[in-house]
C-alpha cells in the first residue's frame, strides 16, 4: 500500500496528543513528514514542548518537530487553558526528552520540506489547531500549493460553536488565517464539531485506559479523564476532536459528509469565527467536504486498537 505523506500542524492540547498517537500508530499507512506547533490551546512554549515530548513518547524520534507561529495573524492570542490545563495535557506528565527542535522557523521549514518532495509526490496538510501556520505557508510560499493534495483540518462547524454560540475554538482563535485557508481553492476536508461532537470514547473506555499498565494507554487515559471533566460535560462520550483527522485518513469509511463552500466571519461582532457553510444546490464551487457522520463503534474500535499497538 502506498503511504499518504502528511504534515501535522498542532497545538497540543489533549485531543492533539491523541491525534499524534493515532498518527504514530498508523505509520504503515502514513508517512509523517513533520510536526509543527502553533499557539492555540496553550502558549507557544508549552505547545512546542508538548509536541517535542509527545513525538518522542510515541516513538517518532525520526520525525522533525518545529516551532510555528507564536500568535495569530491579527488578534491578541488567547488560550484554552481552562479546557486543557496549565501544561496543555491535563494532569499527564510526560517524560523529558533530548529530542531537539528541528527549527524555530517552522513555516519556512515546512515549505522547504514540501518543495523537496520528489517529482509527482504530493502531501496532505493536517492542521488540528488555529490555521495561522497554514495561512502563512500559502501566502508566503505560494509555490508549494502545487504539491499540496488537500487539507484535512479540525475546525469549524455548520451548526453552532463551542467557544462561542457560533464559533469553534480553532477558527475563533485566528479567523483571518482560517478565511485565507478556506478561500485558497485547495480541496479541504473539514472535521468540525458536526462530526467531532459525535466522536469519542465512553467513560468506561477512558477508565480502562487509565487502569492500563501500558505507558501510552495510561497517559492517554490520564489526559482524557481530565478532558472529559472540562470539555465534554453533558455528552455521552469524551469528544476527541483532533483525532478525527487522522482516522479519516486511515479509515475514511467511518465517516460521511456534505460538500459546501465555506466563509469565515472575520468581523468583530458576535459571530466572529463562525464558519458559514453554504450547501445549497446552486452554490458552486463546493471545495470543502464538511464531515457530519461517524460510525461511533467503528471509530472507538480503531482508536483503541491503535492505542494498544504503540
Catalytic residue annotation: 241
Beta bridge partners of 30: 4
Give the containing element (helix H, strand E) for 46: helix 44-57
Q: What are phi and psi of 128, to 5 degrees?
A: -125, 20
| CB burial string 151-173: b at 16+ within 10 A, e below | bbbbbbbbeebbbeebbbbbbbb
Nearest to 55 by CA among 31, 86, 84, 23: 23
Q: How many CA atoms lie less than 13 Å away from 178 in the CB half-sphere?
A: 32
Strands (E), the chain: 4-10, 30-37, 65-67, 123-127, 148-154, 188-191, 200-201, 238-239, 255-264, 275-278, 288-294
Q: What are phi and psi of 107, to 5 degrees?
A: -65, -45
Q: CA 213, CA 209: separation in Å to the nearest integer?
A: 9
User: Could you tell me the CA-to-CA distances from 138 to 10, 108, 147 in Å, in that order?
Assistant: 17, 11, 11
Nearest to 147 by CA among 179, 117, 187: 117
Q: CA 122, CA 144: separation in Å to the nearest integer?
A: 10
Amino acid at each position: 500500500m502506498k503511504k499518504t505523506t502528511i504534515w501535522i500542524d498542532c497545538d497540543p492540547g489533549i485531543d492533539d496528543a491523541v491525534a499524534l498517537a493515532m498518527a504514530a500508530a498508523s505509520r504503515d499507512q502514513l508517512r509523517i513528514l513533520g510536526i509543527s506547533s502553533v499557539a492555540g490551546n496553550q502558549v507557544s512554549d508549552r505547545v512546542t514542548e508538548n509536541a517535542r515530548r509527545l513525538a518522542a513518547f510515541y516513538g517518532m524520534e525520526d520525525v522533525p518537530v518545529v516551532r510555528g507561529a507564536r500568535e495569530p495573524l491579527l488578534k491578541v492570542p488567547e488560550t484554552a487553558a481552562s479546557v486543557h490545563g496549565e501544561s496543555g495535557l491535563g494532569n499527564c506528565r510526560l517524560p523529558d526528552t533530548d529530542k531537539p527542535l528541528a527549527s524555530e522557523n517552522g513555516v519556512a521549514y515546512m515549505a522547504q520540506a514540501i518543495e523537496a518532495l520528489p517529482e509527482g509526490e504530493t502531501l496532505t496538510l493536517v492542521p488540528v489547531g488555529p490555521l495561522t501556520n497554514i495561512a502563512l505557508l500559502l501566502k508566503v510560499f505560494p509555490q508549494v500549493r502545487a504539491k499540496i493534495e488537500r487539507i484535512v483540518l479540525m475546525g469549524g462547524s455548520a451548526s453552532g460553536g463551542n467557544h462561542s454560540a457560533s464559533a469553534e475554538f480553532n477558527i475563533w482563535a485566528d479567523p483571518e488565517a482560517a478565511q485565507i485557508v478556506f478561500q485558497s481553492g485547495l480541496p479541504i476536508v473539514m472535521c468540525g464539531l458536526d462530526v467531532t461532537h459525535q466522536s469519542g470514547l465512553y467513560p468506561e473506555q477512558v477508565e480502562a485506559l487509565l487502569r492500563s499498565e501500558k505507558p501510552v494507554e495510561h497517559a492517554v487515559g490520564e489526559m482524557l479523564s481530565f478532558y472529559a471533566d472540562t470539555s465534554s460535560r453533558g455528552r455521552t462520550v469524551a469528544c476527541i476532536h483532533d483525532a478525527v483527522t487522522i482516522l479519516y485518513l486511515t479509515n475514511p469509511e467511518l465517516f460521511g459528509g456534505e460538500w459546501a463552500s465555506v466563509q469565515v466571519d472575520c468581523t468583530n461582532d458576535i459571530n466572529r469565527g463562525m464558519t458559514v457553510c453554504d450547501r445549497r444546490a446552486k452554490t458552486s464551487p463546493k471545495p470543502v467536504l464538511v464531515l457530519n457522520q461517524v460510525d461511533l463503534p467503528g471509530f472507538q474500535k480503531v482508536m483503541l486498537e491503535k492505542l494498544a499497538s504503540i
